[in-house]
A and B are shown apart, each in its own frame.
Chain A
Amino acid sequence: MGKLRLWVYYFKHAFASVLGNRLIYLISTGTISISLLLFGAFVLLSVNFSNWVQSWEKSLSMSVYLKDGLDEPKKDKIKEAIQKLPGSEIKGFISKEKALRDLSGTLGSQAGLLEGLTKNPLPASYEVVFRNENLGREDLRKIKDALENVEGVDEVQYSEQWMEQIEGMVYMTRIFGFIVGGLLCVAVLFIVTNTIKLAIYSRRDEIEIYKLVGATDWFVKTPLLIEGAMQGILGAVVALVILFAAYSLFTFRTIQLFGLPVMDVVFLNHGHLALILFLGLVLGLLGSFVAIGRFFRF
């Protein structure tokens, strides 16, 4: 039998075997699907959480408070100093009067507290954002120090504590991702291996007969490996279809959380899709390989 004809034979028998043992293969493919669905859902959540954190980092804002009684040329100099900073964008100038009005609006029914003030204590400020810059905490501290040395600047504030929390969250997400992702991979491998092992075990008589009529080990193993690969890929495709359906049904395309910047909820990109398909293939093959390895020790 030529090599090509042999492979045609292997594939033909793998397909015939899957069709002939539909229930067993339905169960094992379903198990692979559920396992990869869990893994895919985890990747989807991780990707979106990571995007959310990154969008926060990218929309970092800074308030540059001015001393009272500055004339226009001095204000322009401060403005120029801010505009020279890489990635900076002045979102607006908040005068002392507007700052007071905003505070009054924020206090709402308790705005009466401000009526007793004889003098507006709030400083005017420039609101600055830094976009598309990978600014670390140290960079922001340097910017703050530089701006505070500009004449007429009283104080510079940014959400330093929030930055620390975000960085902490990113770090924790990565650690958590590695642990949970790793555990999921091991669990999926364990489940898939055992499911395929059961499927192969249910056909032990057939394998024994093949061996008794003089089939070589690889003649028996190859169709079983092909069946494993087919189950893995099919399981991954089903998992992705279910994940996409769930994503489309239950996810709002955009969410707004506590008035923070609008965030897009994205689906897995091509790289992630390919990764899950590849994972399905590898799991199916590896599961079959381990199961066959154990099974052939008779």
Chain B
Amino acid sequence: MIQLFHVSKYFGANAALKDVSARIRKGEFVFVTGPSGAGKTTLLRLMFGAEPPTEGQILINGINLSRVNGSRLDLLRRKIGFVFQDFKLLNRRTVFQNVALASEVTGEKWTTTRKKTHQLLRAVGLATKEQAYPLELSGGEQQRVAIARAMINDPLILLADEPTGNLDPEITRDIMILFRSINLRGTTVIIATHNKELLRNTDQRIIFLHEGTIHE
């Protein structure tokens, strides 16, 4: 599903990732962890095609990210859901509109978009908050809106950057249950986190990053 070959990323003279190689199989649930500045966010951004690697190759479902750009990259992104730490929701749009947006941009029929949006909001427990605005919701609820939006196009891969960073333990547990259920439906889930509580007692694969290099 995801293959990284000798990937490095430099910001000026600083290396965020150094010669990283990894393989993540279809349907895997993977944690990427490490201290702040280890390169977790950079790794996820490279997998999403938000930035090109300085060196190396990244293959997503057999497609080399270095060889796609413009609208082909936009189309590929529709197969990758991304949940951001700061949610990245449109505050002037309702919960329903925020989730529907990701489907609308693909040119999906409105009836299908509407149906899928209702279903997903019900699945993440926000059926009663469809017409609310993001700023009227709690942090956990906003995170669930972001997850619903990331899931609406039935992505092959779900990337989540510190999805529980600002949430209390109870809500963190709910969010993690949600990710597990998404993974059980066949979606490859990759979560970047430095929350040690999440990693304790987990039987999932953990990729440990330190100063831009992998220690599995």
Contacts and interface: CB of A to CB of B under 8 A. Distances in A.
Interface string B88-109: 1110100000000110111111
Interface in B159-181: none
Given A20-B92, A206-B90, A213 B102 contact: yes
A175 B102 CA distance: 55
Contacts of B101: 209-210, 213
A76 to B, nearest CB: 88
A214 B107 contact: no
B74 A215 contact: yes
Contacts of A213: 77-78, 101-102, 105, 149
Nearest to A215: B105
A209 B106 contact: no
Given A6-B107, A9-B104, A214 B92 contact: no
Interface in B38-89: 50, 70-71, 74-75, 77-78, 82, 84, 88-89
Contacts of B149: 213
Contact of A217 (B71, B77, B104, B107): B71
A214 B78 contact: yes
B142 interface: no
B153 interface: yes
A219 B84 CA distance: 22
A1 B149 CA distance: 19
A163 B107 CA distance: 68
Interface residues of B, number: 23
A215 B70 CA distance: 11
Contacts of A206: 90
A219 B149 CA distance: 18
A1 B153 CA distance: 15
Assign chain A's interface to a size class: 10 to 19
A213 B101 CA distance: 8
Question: Which of A205, A209, A214, A219 is packed against the most chain B CB atoms within 10 Å?
Answer: A214
A1 B75 CA distance: 15
Given A1-B107, A9-B104, A217 B74 contact: yes
Nearest to B108: A1
B88 A210 contact: no
Nearest to B107: A1
A140 to B, nearest CB: 68
A215 B73 CA distance: 10
A212 B77 contact: yes
Nearest to B50: A212
Given A215-B74, A216-B74, A210 B92 contact: no
Interface of B: 50, 70-71, 74-75, 77-78, 82, 84, 88-90, 92, 101-102, 104-109, 149, 153
20 contacts: A1-B107, A1-B108, A205-B90, A208-B88, A209-B89, A209-B90, A209-B101, A210-B101, A211-B74, A212-B77, A212-B82, A212-B84, A213-B77, A213-B101, A213-B102, A213-B149, A214-B75, A215-B74, A216-B74, A216-B75
Given A212-B84, A213-B101, A216-B105, 16 more contacts: A1-B109, A6-B107, A9-B104, A205-B90, A208-B88, A209-B88, A210-B105, A212-B50, A212-B77, A213-B78, A213-B105, A214-B74, A214-B78, A214-B102, A214-B106, A216-B75
